[in-house]
Amino acid sequence: MNTQKMIRQASIAACKKLNPLYLMKNPVMFVVAIGFILVVVLTMFPTMFGESSRLFNASVASILFITIWFSNFAESIAEGRGRAQVQTLKQTKTTTKATRILADGTEQMVQAEQLQKGDLVIVRAGETIPNDGEVVEGIATVDESAITGESAPVVKERSGDFSSVTGGTVVTSDWLKIEITSMPGDSFLDKMIRLIEGASRQKTPNEIALNTLLVSLTIIFLLVVVTLLPMANYLNISLSVATLIALTVCLIPTTIGGLLSAIGIAGMDRVTKFNVIAMSGKAVEASGDVDTLILDKTGTITYGNRMATAFLPVQGVTAQELMEMAWLSSLADETPEGKSIITLAEQQGVDQINKHHILQTATVIPFTAQTRMSGVDLAEGLQVRKGSYDAMIKMATHVPNDLEEVVKQVSSVGGTPLVVMRGRQLLGVIYLKDIVKEGLKERFAQLRAMGIKTIMCTGDNPLTAAAIAQEAGVDGFIAESRPEDKIAVIKAEQALGKVVAMTGDGTNDAPALAQANVGLAMNSGTNAAKEAANMVDLDSDPTKIIEVVEIGKQLLMTRGALTTFSIANDVAKYFAIIPAMLMVAIPQMKTLNIMHLHSPTSAIISALLFNALIIPLLIPIAMKGVRYQPMNANHLLNRNLLIYGLGGMVIPFIGIKIIDLVITPLIS
């Protein structure tokens, strides 16, 4: 959406939000609206309270209207940015046909909207997945760029953490049989659209607390203005009702009141730009206070599949011999581990010319839980196997002296040893490793610098867990953990008063994601994980929590900075206006009129105009957010007081004086 169109739509939306029932949601602006109505009445009936300056009343009413409209405009601009992203998502929700599989196995073409939860559909290459579901049969690549923006297709298959598929994505190869898990209109894509549009946005506890503060300040300043009237009468100073209303509006915290909603909406919008969908503003806000991050290992820290990284021959066997036999034993192995062995062997020079011929003439020996090995029987009678150390040594005629040492060496660093055998001869070990995702160590160092402790949870044994934890650079780990162990860790941290974030992608992570203050589920994971979390990372990058935390801190900083500015701003306006208002009746007050404002009328109009104009001028800061820099709380407080506190005191004096110089010739 271009900027001009967004501004035009926000302007229209700002007018629609002038409804008093809507304004009641913002107590500060509701007070301004009441003041506007009263001044309009005074403009229409200037003698009602003995007042006769219709022009002054009309000027005040106009400025109050602009103030309310600017507040609505700030919120509408923030919402408009989210709707621009929604349009992109809605483009994927075209009318889709689906091939439903009936109970007798026959296929039936239906509209996607007719599918119900539990229906089975088959989606072939080039077809769109009609709704969210779980793969029950088949393996295929799926283009998820419609929701993630990532062009590379991802592999989806039955079982595991990569069986979940999202409606609106496209199968690019082979086929998938899918069980539909969402009702029409309740898919993940539908939920994303509703969330970004802000239909379910609720105020966060911090925002509610700040609203309470703003209401309290508004009441205090109302009391100040009310007590000002009898004091003025005692001093024989005539103050009109319009003047008192104008003074009230200038003193109450209209600046932060007008920007508060925009700040919250913009925070949710910023996480969306990082391909993270926040289920509520509360989740974004809580992320700014995270102390501890709990991470699942498989699929989060590691890719989730063990990959071949080295061939380790025993004495008397060449590396080439071992590679060739490992390659032969894996030719018919369609598992990720088997494919990685083929890839590594071919990268290291194994000749693959006769691959298809070998497969056509060989007998495939599949892996079973009983034998714990797999391989092939070649046509010439040669048997090649790979499998666990315990299973393989039972079949061998001789166990090399150094084989056990090689197996222990691989196990000690968290790897999985697969022993290769030709006939009855043991040749060596294939080193399978759970691959840690690139760049994680540096990213975890960033989290540490932000004061966030990282803990890895894994079902692996302590030895493997320790090796992965060291390679990834986490602060601690829990080995052989079950779902209830993850919840126990989170509860223990929360009992210490800490805010806990959890990232995960599996069904077994769902309870912990629900328990954590911030639950970030990977989009590549299961529907159960995504349902339990309050954030979903469309890129399935566990370190995305760094950006989420920074945005959360930025949200809190922006709110605090603009609140500081607003309160300082109100105090400055108080000292700018009061002397100018009273200097006619009390000449001694001229000494305090340090800006030398022309008259009480020009002072009030200038202050009101500044009060209205400062809201749109601060919209860019509310939208972009105050730049986050890791620092301690005291340093941050001092910095905000210096920049936004001092700025809030100085800028009103400058702004009001400039406006006074401009309008004085017009009202003289």
Q: Is the pLDDT of residue 346 over 70?
A: yes
For residues 114-139, average pLDDT: 86
Residues near 86 by Cβ (< 8 Å), separated by ≥ 6? Answer: 193, 196, 197
Q: What is the pLDDT of residue 189?
A: 62
Q: What is the pLDDT of residue 355?
A: 64
Q: Residues 21-30: pLDDT tens digits? A: 888 888 888 8
Q: Is 333 annotated as a binding-site member? A: yes
Residue with tokens 């080039």: 126
Q: Which two tokens stand for residue 531?
A: 């349902």
Residues near 470 by Cβ (< 8 Å), separated by ≥ 6? Answer: none
Q: What is the pLDDT of residue 149?
A: 46
Q: What is the pLDDT of residue 201?
A: 45
Higher pLDDT, 353 or 287: 287
Q: Confidence class of residue 421 from pLDDT cuts 50, 70 and 90?
A: very high
Backbone torsion region of residue 428, taken as left when φ is above 0, otherwise alpha when ψ lies between -120 and 50, otherwise beta: left
Count the helix, strand and coil residues of the chain and give each as a percent rounded to the nearest 5.
55, 20, 30
Task: Give me the percent of the chain exceeding a pLDDT of 70.
Answer: 85
For residues 497-526, average pLDDT: 81
Q: What is the pLDDT of residue 312?
A: 92
Are residues 67 and 32 in contact, defined by beta-carbon separation less than 8 angstroms? yes
Q: Is the pLDDT of residue 199 over 50?
A: no
The residues carrying an active-site annotation are 296
Least confidently predicted of 154-163, 395-404, 561-570, 643-652: 154-163
Q: What is the pLDDT of residue 419?
A: 92
Q: Is 386 annotated as a binding-site member? A: yes
For residues 600-628, average pLDDT: 84
Least confidently predicted of 228-232, 377-381, 626-630: 626-630
Which ranges of 419-500 does DSSP label H, i.e. alpha helix? 440-449, 462-472, 483-495
Q: What is the pLDDT of residue 141?
A: 82
Q: What is the pLDDT of residue 497?
A: 85
52 burial (CB, 10 Å; 0-12 / 13-18 / 19+) is exposed
At residue 363, φ and ψ (nearest 5 deg) are: -100, 120
For residues 466-487, average pLDDT: 83
Which ranges of 522-645 does DSSP label H, i.e. alpha helix? 527-532, 545-582, 600-624, 633-640
Q: Confidence class of residue 283 from pLDDT cuts 50, 70 and 90?
A: confident
What does the alpha-carbon distance between residue 259 and residue 387 come to, in Å, rounded to a whole number? 64
Q: Is 371 annotated as a binding-site member? A: yes
Task: Give me the percent of the chain exceeding a pLDDT of 90.
Answer: 3
Q: Residues 372-399: pLDDT tens digits? A: 788 888 877 888 999 888 888 888 888 8
Q: Is the pLDDT of residue 632 over 70?
A: no
Backbone torsion region of residue 373, taken as left when φ is above 0, otherwise alpha when ψ lies between -120 and 50, otherwise beta: beta
Question: Residue 256: how many CA atoms within 13 Å on its side-chain side?
Answer: 27
Q: Is 368 annotated as a binding-site member? A: yes
Q: Which helix (H) or strand (E) holds 390?
A: helix 389-395
Handedness of CA 62, 68, 72, 77 (dihedral sign): positive
For residues 455-470, average pLDDT: 80
Q: Determine how β-strand 175-180 pairs with β-strand 120-124.
A: antiparallel
State the pTM of this model: 0.63
SS3 270: helix
Q: Is the pLDDT of residue 429 over 90?
A: yes
Q: Is 372 annotated as a binding-site member? A: yes
Provide DSSP, 204-252: -HHHHHHHHHHHHHHHHHHHHHHHHHHHHHHTT----HHHHHHHHHHHS
Q: Residues 85-125: pLDDT tens digits? A: 555 555 555 557 788 898 888 888 888 778 888 889 999 88
Q: CA 325 from chain center: how many Å? A: 48
Residues near 57 by Cβ (< 8 Å), separated by ≥ 6? Answer: 39, 42, 43, 46, 51, 242
Q: Is 83 annotated as a binding-site member? A: no
Q: What is the pLDDT of residue 159?
A: 64
Q: CA 498 from chain center: how many Å? A: 20
Q: Is 515 annotated as a binding-site member? A: no
Q: Is the pLDDT of residue 493 over 60?
A: yes
For residues 1-17, average pLDDT: 78
Q: Is 212 annotated as a binding-site member? A: no
Distances from the Cα of 43 to the Cαs of 47, 64, 358, 554, 648, in angstroms? Answer: 9, 13, 96, 44, 32
Higher pLDDT, 630 or 513: 513
Q: Is the pLDDT of residue 357 over 90?
A: no
Q: Residues 179-195: pLDDT tens digits? A: 888 777 666 666 655 55
Q: What integer best gives the mean pLDDT of the chain?
A: 80
Q: Is the pLDDT of residue 147 over 70?
A: no
Q: Residues 206-220: pLDDT tens digits? A: 667 777 888 888 888
Residue with tokens 């009413």: 61
Q: Is 145 annotated as a binding-site member? A: no
